[in-house]
Structure 1
Amino acid sequence: MRKLYALFALAGMLLVTGCNTMAGAGKDIERGGEKVQGAAESTKQKM
């Protein structure tokens, strides 16, 4: 029974860590998209 509890605790920790990692990756991708959009806007204004 202890092994089952340990397994569930480990799975829970992995899920929480995974959520934080995905949220961070999403923010990084969003920032990259904003920079590309800004570069496109500045290029469009020059034309």
Structure 2
Amino acid sequence: MADKYGLFAWHVSQWRCLSRKGKLVLPGDRVQMFVPLVVEPVGAPDLAAV
């Protein structure tokens, strides 16, 4: 997996270890937890917009 994303194997191993211990802190942990979702009805595509 590390090679696929251009990372070192030890780096991924360290992340997994920290995650198992509950010590992995991601930058996203400090951002807003709610993101509004907009759902539009499914219909024929608007060809004028293309």
TM-score by length of 2: 0.30
Q: Say which structure is richer in helix.
A: 1
Structure possessing the higher relative contact order (Cα contacts under 8 Å, 6 or more residues apart) = 2
